[in-house]
């Protein structure tokens, strides 16, 4: 059981690091035009997109485990969730340092004035809290509260989708927004005890 897990974990790391490596290479080689003619905007968009994808993938693990009976899927939850947080954090840094370059003074005002930025920040703060408490130690310390706290990942995902939709010119009509919104809502519904066959939310670890 040990070595397949290590191989699986290695595969996960490679898959999750590949987009960041591509973006980093593009940022360091502007002549390649890999990030297009507005690289800052592309970087911001792509990091947000990948963060949302990893977040959605994290949510998909439990339903997928139920469907297939593959208990080992559970073990990807923490690394995938942490990658979602890492991409979201890079997304925020890109916004604050690059996107707002030359207009840093307007960031504080925008945080409170712009709902789409506010909900994005809220989602990131939730992910930060979950990342910090994702260790075994915190799991022990928080006992049964740990699981309740970590269900906030659904709230983070919903806020992230809202953030995405409010940022797009056509909002919910944007096909990419719609796809993520549908996925997150579906995965949330899959976890609702009423819908679950047998309704055994309590069987997970923690």
Partner 1 sequence: MLLRKPADILGSEITPESAYLDRRSFMAAAGGLLAAASLPLRARGGQGAGANLGPIQKSPLSTLEPANTFQQVTTYNNYYEFGTGKDDPAREAWRLRTRPWEVKVTGLCAKPRTFGIEDLLKLAPLEERIYRMRCVEGWSMVIPWVGFPLKAVLDKVEPLGSARFAAFFSAARPEQMPGLRTPVLEWPYLEGLRLDEANHPLAILAVGLYGQILPNQNGAPIRLVTPWKYGFKGAKAIVEIRLVKDQPWTSWAKANPDEYGFYANVNPTHDHPRWSQKTERRIGELLRRPTQMFNGYGDQVAGLYRGLDLDTYF
Q: How far is the CB of 27 from partner 1 (least distance, A)?
A: 12
Q: Which of 14, 17, 21, 106 lies at the binding interface for partner 1 (CB under 8 A)?
A: 106
Q: Which stretch binds partner 1 (CB under 8 A): 10-18, 53-61, 92-100, 119-127?
A: 92-100
CB atoms within 10 A of CB 62: 17
- The C-alpha atoms of residue 111 and residue 120 are separated, in whole angstroms, by 10
DSSP helix/strand/coil, 183: helix
Residue 151 DSSP one-character state: T
CB nearer to partner 1: pick between 151 and 173: 173
- How distant is the alpha carbon of residue 19 from its chain centre? 14
Total residues interacting with partner 1, rule: CB under 8 A? 29
Are the beta carbons of 159 and 51 closer than 8 angstroms? no
Question: Shortest approach of partner 1 to residue 68 CB, angstroms?
Answer: 33
In the three-class reduction of DSSP (H, G, I as helix; E, B as strand; rest coil), residue 109 is classed as helix
Chosen residue from 28, 101, 112, 194 binding partner 1 by CB under 8 A: 101
Touching partner 1, residues 169-198 (CB under 8 A): 169-171, 173-176
């Amino acid at each position: 059981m040990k070595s397949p897990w290590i191989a699986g974990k290695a595969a996960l790391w490679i898959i999750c690091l590949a987009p960041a490596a591509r973006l980093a290479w593009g940022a360091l080689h502007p002549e390649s035009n890999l990030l297009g003619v507005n690289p800052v905007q592309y970087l911001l968009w792509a990091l947000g997109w990948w963060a949302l994808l990893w977040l959605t993938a994290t949510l998909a693990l439990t339903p997928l485990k139920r469907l297939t009976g593959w208990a080992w899927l559970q073990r990807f939850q923490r690394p995938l969730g942490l990658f979602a947080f890492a991409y979201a954090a890079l997304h925020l840094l890109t916004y604050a340092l690059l996107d707002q370059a030359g207009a840093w003074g307007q960031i504080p005002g925008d945080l409170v004035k712009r709902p789409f930025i506010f909900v994005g920040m809220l989602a990131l703060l939730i992910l930060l809290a979950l990342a910090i408490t994702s260790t075994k130690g915190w799991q022990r310390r928080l006992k049964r509260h740990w699981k309740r706290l970590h269900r906030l990942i659904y709230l983070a995902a919903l806020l992230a989708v809202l953030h995405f939709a409010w940022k797009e010119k056509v909002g919910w009509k944007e096909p990419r927004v719609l796809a993520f919104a549908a996925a997150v809502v579906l995965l949330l519904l899959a976890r609702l005890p009423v819908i679950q066959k047998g309704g055994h939310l309590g069987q997970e670890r923690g």
